[in-house]
Amino acid sequence: MPNVDERHPFGRLLTAMVTPMRADGSLDLDGAGTLATYLVDEQGNDGLVISGTTGESPTPSSEERDRLIAIAVEAVAERPSRDRVAVVAGTGTNDTAATIAATRRAAVLGADAALVVAPYYNRPDGRMLEAHFRAIADDGDLPIVVYNVPSRTGSNVDADTFLRLADHPRVIAVKEASGSLEQIARICRDRPPDVAVLAGDDAWTLPVLVLGGDGVVSVASNEIPAEMTALCDAARAGDWAGARRIHERWLPLFLANFRGGPNPVPVKAALARMGLIGGDAVRQPLLPLDERAGAEMASTLRGLGLVDEGGRERHVTVTAESVA
């Protein structure tokens, strides 16, 4: 497995893979297999996160989620390189028992870890959150990445709660999307040496790495995986000027992926225009970008050189050196 050390059992760049869909909202399983193979075989990813927020986790059935996990595991198994890409399955719900069951199924399907979002809607407090995650770590049969995204869940896994959880041998990382620099800094400082801190937002990748974090669960790496790899590699090498240049070069894309509609609506629009998925369909209640937002995304992609003036893919890899 690439970039493995005590704190990075699954590497530094994990792509939160989109779930390709047909115009009627049904899963495009062939498209999912094609995208997973593309990301696994060619693009420098250390891991794929399946059925996370970017994979539209709220709407697929448990059977559909299991099929998506199986497709990703199959893509990894067929990878020609010796470096194995990890499969991290999104199994979190707001029901502890259901999450344990989903995590166990993911283990049987061959996933390497589970991404477990904080329970949403029922808004448990810190004591309840800790009990929830401990139960899943105890009984779910997989290592878990705690996913903290208060803007979606309505509850924050604060530093004290996560640091207590980090003593559990199956809690291997946190995906931190709280937007709190103070909280992330404290977790980076005080977590055990074998627990990773992963940025949960591409625009926060560089700040989290500067604070001593370890990588990112990335939306943009669906579009620019090699560039996100270069950013993480530059930081790992201590080339902070190079990492900053990559961050600045691609910041417009990081921001565009969250403009005009909730994630993953914008990134699906971008991937469709780049020819990496068959269309921008999402499952309701989400809808594709409207005409104005779609035109803005197309303009961003052209400006960054990801498509040409005719809308065709024109993806040129940019490293720290080439953007100096």
Q: Taking the domains of the chain in order of start, what are their residue ranges?
A: 13-239
Reported as a single tens digit per residue, the pLDDT across 155-165 is: 999 999 999 99
Q: What are phi and psi of 69, to 5 degrees?
A: -60, -45
| Tokens matching residue 275 | 């020819």
The helix-helix angle for 126-139 and 96-109 (nearest 10°) equals 30
Q: Are 219 and 269 in contact (CB under 8 A)?
A: no
The predicted structure's pLDDT at residue 309: 63
Q: pTM here?
A: 0.92
Longest Cα pair distance anywhere in the chain, in angstroms? 54
* Nearby residues of 248 by Cβ (< 8 Å), 6 or more positions away: none
Reported as a single tens digit per residue, the pLDDT across 286-302 is: 999 999 999 999 999 99
Cα–chain center distance at 42: 18
In the residue annotation, 121 being an active-site residue is answered as no
State whether residue 262 is helix, strand or coil: coil
For the chain, the straight-line distance linking the first and the last C-alpha, in angstroms and rounded, comes to 30
Of 45, 58, 59, nearest in space to 16 by CA: 45
Cα–chain center distance at 96: 22
Exposed e or buried b for every residue in 242-265, given b needs 16+ CB within 10 A? Answer: bbbbbbebbeebbebbbebbebbb
In the residue annotation, 175 being an active-site residue is answered as yes
The predicted structure's pLDDT at residue 273: 97
Average pLDDT estimate for 4-20:
80
CATH class belonging to 13-239: alpha beta
Average pLDDT estimate for 180-186:
97
Q: Pick the catalytic residue: 120, 121, 147, 268?
A: 147
CA distance linking residue 123 with residue 23, whole number of Å: 34
Reported as a single tens digit per residue, the pLDDT across 27-57 is: 999 999 999 999 987 667 899 999 999 999 9
